[in-house]
Structure 1
Amino acid sequence: MFKLSCMYRLLLSWMVLFLCTCGTAPEPTADAERAPAERGAIEERLITQLSPSDDLAGRQRNAIINRAIDRNYDVYAAPEGYFYEVLDTGAYNPLLAGDILSVHYVGNFLDGREFDNSFKRGTPLRFRLGDLIPAWNLALQRVRPGARLRILTPSELAYGTEGLVAPNGDTLVPADTPLEFLLEEIVILEE
């Protein structure tokens, strides 16, 4: 109950920041061009992971894989169900549950439309690792401070069947929506 209460307060604080601040974001970082042979190998590997299932989980998994193929992302499937690409591993000790972090990020729908961007607010998100959506809590433990990480997640590891609704009632992320996040400038503020 305490964890849920903290998550709610954190989400509410984040939403207030989101709605009340503005700024300019740096240009999105372009992915490095991959050689055709490398792109082909990535595509072949990802195609083998497409799901034959037509349920919600299977459709979302296939949508994530297709996004990765279309954008030439070299993602890997985590056992928990999200996909990740470590763009820079960072340095020092790995991140652990309970660490207080500061992270800049961009959140997109799989069609490329942006729904959130900490760079535009001019303030990174500060949180305790373990208090956010499951995909972030799990994926961040794969890297170290200074890392860059891409996460493609099914809705069940993001905002689930409820989606993300602003305090004013506006829907920011519809229910059952898979998402893409690019996390950068990861800093441990307190271990």
Structure 2
Amino acid sequence: MSIRFGAALFAALAIGSVAAQDTSTEKGKLSYAIGFEIGSDFVDKKMDVDVNTVIRGIQDGVAKRQPTVPPEQMRAALDKMREKLMAEAKTKYEQMARENKAKSDKFMAENKVKKGIITLPSGIQYRVIEEGIGKRPLKNSEVTVHYRGSLTSGLEFDSSFARGVPATFKVDAVLKGWQDILPMMKVGDHWQLFLPPEQAYGMRGQGPIGPNEALVFEIKLVDVK
């Protein structure tokens, strides 16, 4: 929850009496839930705040009273806090990226020696599950594929197989690793693909995919246009 959003919600709570503690009503339940969430957010972000002073600030803001701390000092304090939170988040993200890179390198190295695995100069690995006999796509072709994407832990994050509907897209509009591998496949081919991070989402990650995570895909090439 952002500080701006949190403060707005605190202000909503402060409209009523601070002493009011009736949590049996819908208003009471919502008020308590909002307060609990904001308080938990302070703890999660390790924000060193005085709760009573926070409440006092909310009351002053709702009552439109003159702030006891000059506005420029409040802005400076908030800017300092945001910079601290951003620096901490950056450090945490970079640590996660380093750890994921080590795990990905280990996974790719161990997978490389397994039976049926073919490794390309780019570091991409694949194995053939089923061979097709159709034509191969070009870089600018439109293809229809069934696919399943998983983390190396086995956690599935996307699957057209599960949806029962294949996906159609341009070869040059997908992940780099897919752009390299699809022109090697024939219609009817069903391959398992192992992408090192630099051939997938790299440092940026995507949704449930963290930074520097190797990915595993099953791809079945259904059609080429």
Q: TM-score, normalised by structure 2?
A: 0.51
Query: Aligned pair 1:172/2:212, yes or no?
Result: no
| Amino acid across the alignment from 2:216 | E
- Matching residue of 1:95: 137
From 188, 203, 214, the equivalent of 1:146 is: 188
3-state SS, counterpart of residue 173 of structure 2: coil
Distance 1:176 1:58, change over 3 A: closer
How does 1:88-167 map onto structure 2 within 5 Å? 88-164=130-206
1:185 deviation in Å? Answer: 4.4
C-alpha deviations, 1:15-49, integer Å up to 9, x for none? xxxxxxxxxxxxxxxxxxxxxxxxxxxxxxxxxxx
From 90, 107, 111, the equivalent of 1:63 is: 107
3-state SS, counterpart of residue 161 of structure 1: helix
| Amino acid across the alignment from 1:138 | D
How does 1:42-57 map onto structure 2 within 5 Å? none
Distance 1:61 1:75, change over 3 A: farther
Q: Aligned partners of 1:153 and 1:137: how far apart in 2?
A: 12
- Which has the larger share of strand? 1
Can you give the 5+ residue segments of structure 1 that lack an aligned partner in the other structure?
1-53, 165-170
Task: Give the length in aligned residue pairs.
Answer: 128
Distance 1:73 1:184, change over 3 A: farther
1:104 deviation in Å? Answer: 0.6
Q: Aligned partners of 1:120 and 1:56: how far apart in 2?
A: 27
The structure with the largest alpha-carbon Rg is: 2
Distance 1:136 1:119, change over 3 A: same
Distance 1:108 1:67, change over 3 A: farther
Q: Aligned partners of 2:122 and 2:205: how far apart in 1?
A: 20
CA contact (8 A) 1:64 1:110 kept: no
CA contact (8 A) 1:68 1:74 kept: no
- Matching residue of 1:183: 219
C-alpha deviations, 1:104-132, integer Å up to 9, x for none? 11111111111111122222111111111
C-alpha deviations, 1:42-89, integer Å up to 9, x for none? xxxxxxxxxxxx9976752331242466xx552111111111112223
Q: Aligned partners of 2:121 and 2:221: how far apart in 1?
A: 26
Distance 1:98 1:86, change over 3 A: same
Question: What percent of counterpart residues are identical?
Answer: 24
CA contact (8 A) 1:57 1:154 kept: no
- Matching residue of 1:79: 121
Q: TM-score, normalised by structure 1?
A: 0.60
